[in-house]
A and B are shown apart, each in its own frame.
Chain A
Amino acid sequence: MTPDPYFFIIIFVGVALVFPLLPLALAWLWRRFFQPPKPGAEKNATYECGVESIGDAQIQFRSQYYLYAIIFLIFDVEAIFLVPFAVAFTGLPVGAFIAILVFLLLLIEGLVWAWSKGCLNWSK
């Protein structure tokens, strides 16, 4: 008779629970019976390479970079397209040339739109 295939998963779950919980329980018992806890202001302080920590860790960053990042990304992709275009330029048919010009125009249009919206100004 073969055991249920899921039986092994139950064994795994059991081992996975006992393996971390047993040392934790032993450590807890050790603390309880032998080693008195000695917390302190310095000991519990934030570790910053021994330097006293300044300020709060939960600070927020302003998200103005986000618009720049998006515009940069678009032009980054454009550059990737332009390089093979420039390499193959002499052998290109007229249709391909017009296609890439349309592509460039679309992006320039986007830039003009973003500019006129004030995306390139650093908003406070």
Chain B
Amino acid sequence: MSEQIDEGLRSELQRQGIWVTSMQDLYNWGRRSSIWPLQFGLACCAIEMIATAASRYDLARFGGEIFRPSPRQADLMIVAGTVTKKMAPQIVRLYNQMPDPKYVISMGACAISGGPFKEGYNVLKGIDRYIPVDVYIPGCPPRPEALLHAFMELQRKIDEQKLTGADRAEHLNAAQPSEFPVPAFGAHDLEPPANPDVFEPPKIDRT
């Protein structure tokens, strides 16, 4: 909710049948009510994502049912499953091809860290090495409720994004990049193994 309008006055007006809002609230309300995910799944987590979109869990209740087959029309990338090193460049490229504003949900242990295959030679240890992730969902696989929860978290995040000011949303800030370098296939690993602008290795506390 915006700070400019006094909440008491607002509800008083609402009782009289006058609805007051701000451009920012209207904009964010519109965006969070129609988050269209990009249609792709990578592994077993994708099955849960499909279940979430189907009638039993019904992602449509949150305005996210329109899975788009083209990144040009998508707002949200649900990385649902194991990101192999062969797949990672394609994921980053798809992310780059999405128009702003764009968000990423990292679904499941695999997309977060490599999950059960973390020590595997061919699995990326988390998609957040190359693209910024907004919401992480732990689980192997996370249940559809967890994905719905992540979706609601994302909506909450969108609700709080500012239209103006220094802390405005990234896509409104010309200085923030909307593309990230695509990793290349190296001799033994992806080059570079992580994008230092995006990825911060977790601090290990050895006490």
Q: How large is the interface on A (under 10, 10 to 19, 20 to 34, 35 or more residues)?
A: 10 to 19
Q: Are A47 and B90 in contact (CB under 8 A)?
A: no
B25 within 8 A of A: no
A124 within 8 A of B: no
Q: Are B96 and A36 in contact (CB under 8 A)?
A: no
Q: Are B72 and A47 in contact (CB under 8 A)?
A: yes
Q: Are B179 and A40 in contact (CB under 8 A)?
A: yes
Interface string of B161-189 (1 = CB under 8 A from A): 00110000001111001110010000000
Q: Are B90 and A42 in contact (CB under 8 A)?
A: no
A35 within 8 A of B: yes
Interface residues of B in 80-125 (CB under 8 A from A): 89-91, 93-94, 96-97, 99-100
Q: How far is the CB of B94 from chain A (nearest CB, A)?
A: 4
Q: Which residues of B contact A51 (CB under 8 A)?
A: 90, 93
Q: Which residues of A contact B179 (CB under 8 A)?
A: 38, 40-43
Q: How far is the CA of A41 from the CA of B100 in the complex (A)?
A: 15
Q: How large is the interface on B (under 10, 10 to 19, 20 to 34, 35 or more residues)?
A: 20 to 34
Q: Are B178 and A47 in contact (CB under 8 A)?
A: no
Q: How far is the CA of A52 from the CA of B89 in the complex (A)?
A: 9
Q: Which residues of A contact B91 (CB under 8 A)?
A: 50
Q: Are A47 and B96 in contact (CB under 8 A)?
A: no
Q: Are B172 and A35 in contact (CB under 8 A)?
A: yes
Q: How far is the CA of A38 from the CA of B96 in the complex (A)?
A: 11
Given A34-B172, A38-B178: A43 in contact with B97 (beta carbons within 8 A):
yes
Chain B residue at smallest Cβ distance from A49: B90
Count: A-B pairs, CB below 8 Å: 46
Q: How far is the CA of A41 from the CA of B70 in the complex (A)?
A: 17
Q: Are A42 and B172 in contact (CB under 8 A)?
A: no
Q: Which residues of B contact A42 (CB under 8 A)?
A: 93, 96-97, 179, 182
Q: How far is the CA of A25 from the CA of B38 in the complex (A)?
A: 26
Given A47-B72, A50-B90, A50-B94: A38 in contact with B100 (beta carbons within 8 A):
yes
A59 within 8 A of B: no
Q: Are B172 and A36 in contact (CB under 8 A)?
A: yes
A98 within 8 A of B: no
B71 within 8 A of A: yes
Q: How far is the CA of A54 from the CA of B91 in the complex (A)?
A: 18
A70 within 8 A of B: no
Q: Which residues of A contact B94 (CB under 8 A)?
A: 49-50
Chain A residue at smallest Cβ distance from B38: A50
Q: Are B70 and A47 in contact (CB under 8 A)?
A: yes
Q: Are A43 and B172 in contact (CB under 8 A)?
A: no
Q: How far is the CA of A41 from the CA of B181 in the complex (A)?
A: 11
13 additional A-B residue pairs with CB within 8 Å, beyond A43-B99, A49-B94, A52-B93: A34-B172, A35-B100, A35-B172, A36-B172, A38-B171, A38-B178, A41-B179, A42-B93, A42-B97, A43-B97, A45-B93, A47-B97, A50-B89
